[in-house]
Amino acid sequence: MSRHPDFVPHGVIPAVLLPFHMDLSIDEPSFRIHLRDVGLVQGLSAITINAHSTEVASCTDDEQCRVMEITGEEVGAKLPIIHGVWADGSLQAARIARQAQAGGASALLVFPPAPFTLGQSPEMALAHFKTIADATDLPLIVFQYPLTTGQGYPAATLERLFEEVPTIRAIKDWTPLVPQHENQIRCLQGRKRPINVLSTNSAWLLSSLVLGCNGLLSGSGSVIADLQARLYRAVKADDLAEARRLNDRIYPTARVFYADPFIDMHNRMKEALVLLGKLPRAVVRPPLVKISDAEIARIREALVEAGLLGTQAAQGRNAA
């Protein structure tokens, strides 16, 4: 059961990475160190696992359960755990939801089913979320993809979801269009039963937060959780000068993490943690492949520019 039963998704929520050995098995000791490192950051509201950042698409059900177990052991007493629900079928999604609740999760991040790329109706979205809600009473976070992917939910569908599935408490908003993003923030957080908007627009985080998001859920928090927490506090305090100063430090990492191809963002974050001495290796599971030396060099330069890696340390690792 959840150690944080009153948790409502909000605030600064890093999505952590999942280290692997060279044989592609989970590197549990390194994962524990990574969890403790991120968990020590002041100002966090929760931690997310079994999501894009942990390469959930390549993890078995047993591995997802093990990830949940380890996370609970390392940070569960201190921070709520948000567990991703990645499934193409609603029955499988419900099974994951029940397992997550039994393992101690405090909320669920529900990914849109991949078949929705071929078309969806409001009734399909409702059936998916109601099946999950019938399996658990945990707060649900709707992962709102860009509408152009086919997996994003139109405004009318979202409205029906919020009206008919009361355990939905937040959306992770990946809306790339600023007017649509702002409209969702105003409409959803202004409802009689507010729906918190958690930004995942990490490539333009300052702009997104200034619009009024009640939080952020970001894979780059695996590397820069402290900068994100400080940025969020500065925006909430209306300290624009401090927010811009912090954003100037975040910008170099956002520029390299979210370059094309976009799918390599968490691959790059692993390389950043290796450069920072926080992971022993940056191994990803296929179909992802290791990025080039030239790209790793650009990540190193970005970490130096952000003030996260000293010039001498960078030169030493480059020589190595």
Average pLDDT per consecutive 10 residues, the chain (320 residues; last block may be shorter): 85 98 98 98 98 97 98 97 98 98 97 96 98 98 96 96 98 95 96 96 96 97 98 98 98 98 97 98 97 98 96 54
Contact yes or no for 223/15 (Cβ under 8 A): no
Would you state the pLDDT for residue 182? 96
58 and 23 in contact (C-beta within 8 Å)?
A: no
**Per-residue pLDDT, 13:** 98
CA atoms of 110 and 102, how far apart (whole Å): 17
Per-residue b or e along 273-297, where b marks 16 or more CB atoms closer than 10 Å to that residue's CB: bbbbebbeebbbeeebeebeeebbe
DSSP reduced 3-state for 67: helix
At residue 168, φ and ψ (nearest 5 deg) are -70, 120
Using DSSP, state whether 304 is helix, strand or coil.
Answer: helix
Classify residue 271: in a domain, yes or no. Answer: no
Contacts of 148 (CB under 8 A, 6+ apart): none
What's the structural domain count of the chain?
Answer: 1
Question: Which domain range does residue 77 map to?
Answer: 11-250
pLDDT at 192 (0 to 100): 94
Global pTM value: 0.95
| Strand locations in 64-167 (E) | 81-85, 107-110, 140-144
Asked if residue 221 is part of any domain, the answer here is yes
- pLDDT attached to residue 148: 93
φ, ψ of residue 219 to 5 degrees: the values are -65, -30
pLDDT value for 310: 86
Q: In this structure, is residue 236 part of a structural domain?
A: yes
Instruction: Tell whether 79 is covered by a domain.
Output: yes
CA distance 5 to 12: 18
Compute CA distances 79 → 38, 72, 128, 272, whole Å: 11, 9, 28, 24
| 295 domain-assigned | no
In a domain, 167, yes or no: yes
Q: Please, what's the largest Cα pairwise distance for the chain?
A: 59
User: What is the CATH number for 16?
Assistant: 3.20.20.70
Instruction: Determine, yes or no, domain membership for 256.
Output: no
Q: Give the pLDDT confidence score for residue 3 in this predicted structure.
A: 76
Give rounded-to-5 percent helix, strand, coil for the chain.
55, 10, 35
Residue 279 lies in a domain: no
